[in-house]
Amino acid sequence: MTFDLEKFNPAYQRWVTESLPEFRAGRMAEIVKRYPFVVSDDVPWTPYRGQPSEQTFALVTSGGFFMKDSQPAFDTVSIHGDPSLREIPKTVSQGDIGIAHAQYDHSLAEKDINIIFPIHRMIELEEEKIIGRVVATNYSFSYVNDVVTLVTETIPKFISRIKADGVDVVLLVPV
């Protein structure tokens, strides 16, 4: 997917300047309507090929998950959001997870992480040999408005990591 960062960035900076007072007042519904969303004409849809039982899967959520005892929480205060990512191990348990995302109700995810990060369901599929394997390291993003940093810094690192892990299929679970 390509888009013009040179064109997007000034529109984004203008949006930040105009929206900051409403953001600070908690009026997200209003400012989101004016966000300069990226629209691409060349989304690289790829038909699924292969046998799931022979492939490596990774799970990615935008739920703002982080490992409470070893990772910093995502920034939930900035209008830019937090374009970084957190590594979530395959061995994660409910008690390991913190949630740092100010734009959705966490109550169900706090009861069961599988609601928005179905890692335990994926492990069951692996154990039943329906899929080949779940990669040892999976990922979480959080609320992000800063698309430029996300696209130019975070996503290339993420892609490099999943390629190095031999991931064939990435399941994206947006919030």
Q: What is the pTM of this model?
A: 0.90
Question: At 141, is the secondary structure helix, strand, or coil?
Answer: coil
Among 158, 94, 90, CA closest to 119: 90
Measured distance CA(171)–CA(43) in Å, rounded? 17
**pLDDT mean values, one per 10 residues, the chain (175 residues):** 80 95 90 87 81 97 97 96 97 97 94 97 98 98 92 95 96 94
> What pLDDT is attached to residue 29?
87
The pLDDT value recorded for residue 3 is 74
- Looking at the DSSP assignment, which residues form a beta bridge with residue 81? 144
Structural tokens at position 141: 């993003």
Per-residue tokens: 77 = 């205060």
The reported pLDDT for the residue numbered 168 is 95
pLDDT of 1 reads 58
3-state secondary structure of 29: helix
